[in-house]
Structure 1
Amino acid sequence: MTNANLYALFQSRFPADLNKVFLQQEDGGRLTYGQMDDQSAKMVALLKGLNISKGDRVLVQVEKSMSAVCLYLACLRIGAIYLPLNTAYTANEVSYFIEDAGPALLIGNPEIFKSHNIQNLTMAAFSIQAESHNPFDPIAEMAEDDLAAILYTSGTTGRSKGAMLSHKNLASNALTLHKIWHWQQDDVLLHALPVFHVHGLFVALHCALLGGSTVWFLPRLDVDALIRLLPKSTVLMGVPTFYTRLLAHEGFTRDLCRSMRLFISGSAPLLEETFHQFEDITGQRILERYGMTEAGMITSNPYNGDRVAGTVGFPLPGVDVRICDENGAPVPEGEIGILEYKGPNLFQGYWQMPEKTAAEMRPDGFFISGDMAISDKEGRISIVGRGKD
């Protein structure tokens, strides 16, 4: 049986020269592919020493750093389930996630964790301790449906739900995006997103890892830094705010973007006005796509072909999408309905919520997104609102 471990897939696509830079920062900090492989293997050895094994949850609430990326990769390697949390969550909010997920290890601020009798370390302490270990190179054997991560949804009503994502869910989505967005080994990704959600952690970094590409790794959104680094980059993934703030910057010009081949937007609707202003200045059309925590990316505007303002494009290859009424019956073309989808990227359900999972699924395996959508005669999809949380 082929090992479905996502890290094994990444490793098979590393550049031939492991001295190639994977992550780099403006302050001179850098991590080559070889160093990342070595550091994550040392972290595996430390995890084993902390009695972490396949299926254990590792809950992580840390600032964006190269070490945090290595910890995620170490969890993949050992078969642990990575559970990243928004750094803005309070101790009370984090307590809910700890009680719900039952993690075996907590990485983050000990003050936030102090009411829980679970082993915990800061990211800095974990990294320092890992350095004294010998790398543990074997990669855990994983089946396709074994869990790689649990990401909690941020619904505004009710309890946050833990979306269980398998190695296959993440691998299938990454391979599809790598192909349809024409990822190349000489690409340089400009990364200013957080790494505790699908967009920054999975969509952006997985594409770069599959491409054996280099990433400018910014600690946070800093428009001045984007301006400095755009001429040294080829791809930017961002939320609409990235683009409105670039447009408002007096230093943002067409010449600045001459090395850029792709601007991608998601996580929130991109205003048509922003789309057109951006094209006027740069000569490039932002590629808008649509996804959810439960599946990663679901639709995308085309790389080659018309990218239409106000739409999120077409279903990804291998992903089935339909627009239905509340009973699951397809609505006529051009009418608003609820977007439903299924595919190899669709999650394994909500952690310890089988009834909630069942309530969100149709008998034929389609997931009810809760997003209101409409499609045109070409099959392009537009998201027009939210019907549920």
Structure 2
Amino acid sequence: MLQLIQNAHSFPEKTAVVEENHHHTYQDLLDRSALIARSLLAGKKDLDQERVAFMVAPSFDYLAIQWGIWRAGGIAVPLCITYPFPSLQYVIEDTQASIIIASPEFEEILSPYTGNPNIKFISLAEFQHVKESPLPDIERERGAMILYTSGTTSLPKGVLTTHANIEAQISTLVDAWQWTCGDYTLSILPLHHVHGIINVNSCALWSGATVEFLAHFDAKAVFDIFIVGKVNVFMAVPTIYFKLIAYYDSLPRSEQFELNERMKTFRLMVSGSAALPVSVMQKWHQISGHYLLERYGMTEIGMAISNPYAGERRAGHIGQALKGVQIRICNEEDQPLPLDHAGEIQVKGPNVFKEYWGKKEATQKAFTKDGWFKTGDIAVMEDGYFKILGRDSVDIIKSGGYKISALEIEEVLRKYPGIKDCSVVGVPNEEWGEIVGAAIIAEATLEEKRINNWIRERMPSYKTPRKYIFLEDLPRNTMGKVTKNELKKLF
């Protein structure tokens, strides 16, 4: 039996899920997922790694379906509930899903598949009582889940992880972040992404903790749940912390004080999926008493590096390698460098994915000859902590022979009075190769010359932006990460 399912048997009467004042126990989750598994099998002994795509809002039903697919021997393919049909179609057809499950609110958008003879379309309401029958034994090396990369440089790739990969990703974080059955977390992140699926939901359920769902992000609703006094673990992306801070600033002092006191009792607060601005970390510490734990991971590897649970959480840094995960820094020829030299992060360990689905050549290119996964992220170690300099393709600007970190410039710009947020990219230039371009969200009209004079007092002149654009908002994906290739087009 899969370890995640096995662990649930240890907490049958404990509350696993809370949603809109409904409480579901671990036994409820086991029973519902078993019913779904038997329904999916429909008399077969084993789905034998058939791909099952499902479009269900974050909820008890989402978890039961995910577990049901796994228990039936299928590969789970969660669909993003905010994607337009062409994006959903790409995932369904790329994975060659043989079954689609949809909750009622998503049946219309997926209706083109209802008459497809090669795909079994199941409405969530159809999962009723089924005859008891044995469920298959699932080997840990089998495929378990396909999640899609954000596709910032090409078409999204399906990342196939095995049950062994997922167990390694979960157990490593449970150990590093000291999850227990006494924890209670709020799940607000999209569930077609490793952050919400693994770091929040699966770590909690592995440990016997409780997950409360908030289907749609709303700053007031988040703080209202905090005030109730049950949540003690919270994970979000920088954009969410930014929005929570903005809402907090609008509250009267009495409500701010109540939130201050409540959040001080939390055990753990984590930020990830995008670089955390130091300014946001400092402001959040002022209002919550917590230095956010920043970590590093991606769809292909789960989490690989983390600031310590007990110990200094260093702003602007992602910490040290997690237990069981090997990290090295390499040059462009995949030769290892001293850790205090800037280079690509490469990863090896049981957490690393199996393959890009149906893309043998892309899989081969993603690994070195000696089996290390090439992340494409550039980092350096400073005083024992890794620091991300950027992603080689979008965050490292190659200008006039210099390699410039866009993230470093962004961090400085955010300290300029009147700048609410920003993003820096390399803009193609015939003379320099690339020049530094800065997109600014400002509270009022700002003068470029004054910004540049101010920057030159803090950074070398070659890092000063040559082009500026002023925007209402930055283009972002569903995880709040700025889509820099889209931003480049605006220049």
TM-score in same-fold range (> 0.5): yes
- The question of 1:240 aligning with 2:238 is answered yes
Give the unaligned 5+ runs of structure 2: 395-491
Q: Matches of residues 42-191 of structure 1 in structure 2 within 5 Å? A: 42-49=35-42, 53-108=47-102, 109-114=107-112, 116-121=116-121, 125-126=123-124, 128-134=125-131, 136=133, 138-191=134-187
Which letter does structure 2 place at the counterpart of 1:44? Answer: A
SS at match of 1:312: coil
Paired with 1:62 and 1:281, the residues of 2 have a C-alpha distance of 34
**8 Å contact from structure 1 (residues 106, 118) kept in 2:** no
Q: In the TM superposition, what is the alpha-carbon distance from 1:50 to its structure 2 partner?
A: 7.9
Q: Is the deviation greater in 363-372 or in 95-104? A: 95-104
Match of 1:36 among 29, 37, 43: 29
- CA shift in 2, pair 1:129/1:345, >3 Å: same
Q: In the TM superposition, what is the alpha-carbon distance from 1:272 to its structure 2 partner?
A: 0.6
Q: In the TM superposition, what is the alpha-carbon distance from 1:278 to its structure 2 partner?
A: 1.4
Per-residue CA distance 1:128-180 (angstroms, 9 max, x = gap)? 322222455x4432223210001111122222111110000000110111011
Aligned length: 377
Paired with 2:160 and 2:319, the residues of 1 have a C-alpha distance of 26
CA RMSD of aligned residues (A): 1.9
- CA shift in 2, pair 1:174/1:324, >3 Å: same
Per-residue CA distance 1:72-109 (angstroms, 9 max, x = gap)? 00011111000112122222222222222111101233
Which letter does structure 2 place at the counterpart of 1:297? Answer: M
Q: In the TM superposition, what is the alpha-carbon distance from 1:111 to its structure 2 partner?
A: 3.9
SS at match of 1:64: coil
- The question of 1:196 aligning with 2:196 is answered no
Paired with 1:154 and 1:322, the residues of 2 have a C-alpha distance of 24
Paired with 2:278 and 2:212, the residues of 1 have a C-alpha distance of 28
Q: In the TM superposition, what is the alpha-carbon distance from 1:383 to its structure 2 partner?
A: 1.4
Which letter does structure 1 place at the counterpart of 2:65? Answer: L
Paired with 2:135 and 2:335, the residues of 1 have a C-alpha distance of 45
- The question of 1:207 aligning with 2:203 is answered yes
SS at match of 2:370: coil
- The question of 1:259 aligning with 2:261 is answered no
Partner of 2:391: 386
SS at match of 2:362: helix
Paired with 1:118 and 1:309, the residues of 2 have a C-alpha distance of 51
Partner of 2:403: none
- CA shift in 2, pair 1:95/1:113, >3 Å: farther
Paired with 1:175 and 1:383, the residues of 2 have a C-alpha distance of 25
Which letter does structure 2 place at the counterpart of 1:262? Answer: L
**8 Å contact from structure 2 (residues 234, 268) kept in 1:** yes
- CA shift in 2, pair 1:289/1:238, >3 Å: same
Q: Which has the higher contact order (CA 8 A, sep 6+)?
A: 1
Which letter does structure 2 place at the counterpart of 1:29? Answer: H
Give the unaligned 5+ runs of structure 1: none
Larger radius of gyration: 2
SS at match of 1:276: helix
- CA shift in 2, pair 1:134/1:202, >3 Å: farther
Q: Is the deviation greater in 153-162 or in 67-76? A: 153-162
- The question of 1:279 aligning with 2:285 is answered yes
- The question of 1:22 aligning with 2:19 is answered no
Q: Is the deviation greater in 109-118 or in 46-55? A: 109-118
Paired with 2:72 and 2:260, the residues of 1 have a C-alpha distance of 45
Please, what TM-score do these two structures have when normalized by structure 1?
Answer: 0.92
